[in-house]
Structure 1
Amino acid sequence: MLDPVLEKNTFRQGKTLYIHIGDEDAEFHTSFRIYFITKLSNPHFSPELSAKTTVVDFAVTQKGLEDQLLSRVINEEQRSLEDQRVKLIEEVNANTIALSKLDKQLLQKLSETEGDLLEDVELIQVLAETKRKSSEVKSKIQISKTNRNYD
């Protein structure tokens, strides 16, 4: 029944826009908006409905609110510490992506290697690089955790 509204299937009679809802035609205003609200924690929407609408998830967690509030307070009180935290998060994300790429490369090399694994110099180099990057990412994650406490 709401498909004509969601799809904005309007037609014009004279200078007025109309929309066919159910068995009746109703005037349609171009600035009309409709909002649906649910109290369900994890509602399921069909792909068709998701394609016709914009679904916004306003679910908020206590931890998420704490992080946002703490970030804003630190941003006001100690701007440099907040900048350092943001930089660390970006570095950890970049390093995690690089580590994932190295893991894929390592797995590819392992699957392609024939014969003795210890004789494949390139495989050993990839393994060493993956180990080094993993240690680097772990140390940066630890630094970001200590900075997160803003001691």
Structure 2
Amino acid sequence: SDYLRTLENAIQFGKPVLCENVLETLDPALEPLLVKQTFKSGGVECIRLGDATIEYQKDFRFFITTKLRNPHYLPELQVKVTLLNFMITPAGLEDQLLGITVAKERPDLEEEKGRLVQESAANKKQLKEIEDKILEVLSGGEGGSILEDATAINILSASKQLSVEISEKQKIADETEVKIDEARNGYKPVAYRTSLLFFCIASLAEIDPMYQYSLDWFINL
């Protein structure tokens, strides 16, 4: 089939492949691939896929996704793959909905929250760079006392001063973020109930598969 030919080319040239929307059973032809049933032929690593023998490149990657909300895979399949569940959790959805609600009702708070997150990341990066510079100076001595190296002393002094300034900025940012979070928490009941509503709607699929609703659809209501 077409998808097997696509797989053959990807295996041969070491490219990644994404197989989407699978159900709870997989094509038996994929078995050698799932268990990486390779063998040597003429000193080259190969694998059989269907009736074809293909040169196996180590950079090849195979990803499989499903749209099933709660798929049940047989144990013998689970041991051949690495299962990752990307289904959103109630707590994760509540946090996401809190941000959406605050952005709608108090865009100033959400904008300031985003700015502080970026500032905090930048401060931590600068502190790490200062730490690395100090370690470089301390380990760069040529056997003499660092106290006799004027350049090293100046670098260490400037680094210490900059570190203090950044730490003070981070302290102010942390205090501001606490106040913003307190204001945002006023909208938590809305986010909590909205999250419950989504999972109630999502559970309708257990009554009839026809009732399938995406998170994007729900958020845009």
Indicate the residue corresponding to 2:206 in structure 1: none
User: Aligned residue for 2:61?
Assistant: 51
What is the letter of the counterpart of residue 125 of structure 2?
A: I
Aligned to 1:26: none
Distance across 2 between alignment mates of 1:145 and 1:36? 45
Contact 1:95–1:133 under 8 Å retained in 2: yes
Q: Across the two proteins, how many residue pairs are aligned to each other?
A: 120
Task: Tell me which of 71, 96, 101 is aligned to 2:129.
Answer: 101
What CA distance in whole angstroms lies between the structure 2 residues aligned with 1:6 and 1:101? 49
Offset from partner CA, 1:28-63 (integer Å, 9 cap, x none): xxxx844377xxxxxxx99x7982226765154454
Contact 1:6/1:53, CA 8 A, preserved across alignment: no
**Match in the other structure for 2:139:** 111
Specify the code of the residue in structure 2 equivalent to 1:58: F
Matching of residue 121 in structure 1 with residue 154 in structure 2:
yes
Instruction: State the distance in 2 between where 1:54 and 1:102 align.
Output: 43
Structure 1 unaligned blocks of 5 or more? 11-31, 38-44
TM-score w.r.t. structure 2 length? 0.43
Q: Secondary structure at the match of 1:91?
A: helix
Deviates more, 1:83-92 or 1:109-118: 109-118
Number of the residue aligned with 2:178: 145
How far does the alpha carbon of each residue in 1:54-97 deviate from its partner, in whole angstroms, 9 at most, with x for none?
67651544543232111111011111111111111111111221
Residues 99 and 49 (structure 1), Cα distance of their counterparts in 2 relative to 1, 3 Å cut = same
Relative contact order, higher structure (CA 8 A, sep 6+): 2
Q: Does 1:9 align with 2:19?
A: no
- Distance verdict in 2 for CA 1:80–1:131, change over 3 Å: same
1:131 paired residue number: 164
For residue 65 of structure 1, the aligned residue among 75, 93, 98 is 93
Contact 1:71 1:82 in 2 (8 A): yes
When structure 1 is superposed on structure 2, of 116-125 and 67-76 the one drifting more is: 116-125
| CA distance, structure 2, for counterparts of residue 146 and residue 50 of structure 1 | 49
Give percent identity, aligned residues only.
Answer: 20
